[in-house]
Structures are given as structure tokens and as C-alpha cells.
Structure 1
Amino acid sequence: MKSLKTILLATTLTAGFGFFMGTTDAHADSLYKVKTGDTLSTISQQFSGDNSLIDLIAKDNKITNINMIFEGEELVIRTAEEAGKDAIPVQAEAAPVQEAAVQAEPAAPAQEAATAPATTSSAKEWIAQKESSGSYAATNGRYIGRYQLDASYLNGDYSEANQERVADSYVAGRYGSWEAAQAFWMANGWY
């Protein structure tokens, strides 16, 4: 009888330990394998809907040059709750709203279309905020400036005036208007 009790207790403890070890933490980090064409910006967009995780991903993965990641490299991406610990308060408050938009992805284009800006200047500013948080000095690999234009379009002149001129020309030639470029961005996540 004593050996039966010992077996039952050992089985119960083993099953409980197995259950404990087999459960996943809802706040676990994600492991992301870099694909061709990925940048820290596109990865951050995937996980948070904006560029707020770029520095955190670089820090967590000991990336010294944020413009250089390699295909096949595995990156640890912290969840929103974990990332919020290192984020500034404004970003921490904004993250849940952006996550909700990502979770409701099928409904997002319809909701965003209803709030689409009525003027060229607001559509242009909206794209600038999505691409670079409005910074003329932002870089992401070969993409430069406020509108994240390919460096070849800027011909080595990264001045604010040239970025504005080239962005206007690019959008006019490709989309016809900033509003059309914004609609394309909302549907595809880039312009």
C-alpha cells in the first residue's frame, strides 16, 4: 500500500510539474526570424504598429548598427507589456491603442478611411509621422529622412528643402496626390 501511495504521489507531482512547465506565459517574448527586405522599422511596425520598438529591439539584441540586420538572424521582440517598462510614458500609453488597431486588422482600413484627412497637408503630415515620426534626420538602411525616400532619389542632397521637393515629385508621379498615397499606405503599410 505504501508503494502505491508513493507511485500516486510521484505521478501527481510529475503531472503537475509537466503542466507547469508546459504552459506558456501570456507575456512571453517573441522570437522573430529576419526575412529578406526586413528592417527594424518594418519589424517594429509589425509588432507595435509604429517605429517605437526600433531602439528597444536593437538594445535587446545587441545590434550596434540599427541599419544592418541579416536574413536568418533571430531577434527577441518583447511584448507590449515588457517593452513598456523601458519606454517613455507617452509611448507606454499609446501602445495598447496601437495594439488594438493591429488586432482588429480587418476592420482597421474601414475605420481609417472614415477618418482620412481632407487636405493635402494633413495627408502629407500623416505619412511623415508614420514613416519617420516627422524627422528629417531619420534613416533606415537606404531610406532617408522625413518621408523615408530611397537615397538614390535624393542624389546625396538630404536637406529639408530637397526632401520636400523630391517627396512631392515622387507622390505626384506615383499616386497623383498625397491623399491617394495615404490611402495606399493604409491598405499596404507603405507608400
Structure 2
Amino acid sequence: MKSLKTILFATTLTAGLGIFMGTTDAHADSLYTVKSGDTLSTISHQFSGDNSMIDLIAKDNHISNINMIFEGEQLTIRTAEEAAQAPVQQEAAQQTVQAPVQATEVPAAPVAQETAPEAAVTTSSAKEWIAQKESSGSYGATNGKYIGRYQLDASYLNGDYSEANQERVADSYVAGRYGSWEAAQSFWMANGWY
């Protein structure tokens, strides 16, 4: 009887260890580094075979302009299983959020007016902080292919190095890539660039 228990225990232990050692996390995200010529469409095709993941990749990586990604940027790509579940989860979240809004009827305009001046102050300080780190605030600064106050790639400026265009392109770049100057500043502090 003892030998039967020993055999059963050893078999169970071996099978459990084999299953444990042989499994991988089916929910592991992939980290993808953007290469020259990549678009969200080509990346989506690479992972899913179609364009179905474009919006999901943009959402997961806080990309507000799906036509603007940058070489060397690292994107988190969900596995096919997680990507298929995302629309269901998003619909449930939207339904949950919409119900309280319809029931409470709180006017949004006064809230936006109260917070706007504070947001403008923090945005300008984060923007100025980045300008000082990148070029000591000089619109004429150059560093190889990087031009101006925000050290933008010359290709983004399309030959127009004016102060107004540098401001406009920098705002567009930061909004598209980070969503805000504060987020860009946080990224800069963590990585030494933005």
C-alpha cells in the first residue's frame, strides 16, 4: 500500500511540475520597437493579420494621432486573445460610465472653466522646463538633425524654422505622443529625452 501511495504521489508531482515548467503566460504583452517605415497599420497586420488592432495599439500607448509614430518608440502590443476581449470590456466600461452621467445632469461648462487656468499654468511650466533642458530656450539651437527650442527633428518642421512653427509643431508632437506637456516632462525625467 505504501509503495502505491509513493508511486501516485511521485506521478502527480512529476505531472504538476511538467505542466508548471512547460506553460507560458498566455496574457503576456509584446514590446515592439518602431522601425523606419512602420505605421500602426503595418504593425497591426504583423500581429493580427489585419487593421483590427490600430485603435487598440493607439489607446494602449496613449497615441492621440494614429498617423504619427516615431522610429525607436516602444509600443506595448496586446496578445490576440487580449485584443479580442478588449472591445467587450470597453463596451461594458462605456455603459457603466454613461448611466451616472445621464442620471445626475451636472453641467460640464462651469467645471471646465474652473480647471482651465490652472491647467494652462502647469502646461506652460512643463513646456518651458523641456525647452530649457533641450536648448536652453533658444529657437536657433541645433544638434545634428534636431532644430530649435524643443530640438525637433528637422523633418517635422518642413523647412520652416520660425518661432511660430516651432511652437505649433512642438505642441502637436507632444499632444500626439504624450497627451500633455506634463506627461512629456515625466517621460523626459525618466529617460533623458522626450
Normalising by structure 2, what TM-score?
0.38
- More helix as a share of residues: 2
Normalising by structure 1, what TM-score?
0.38
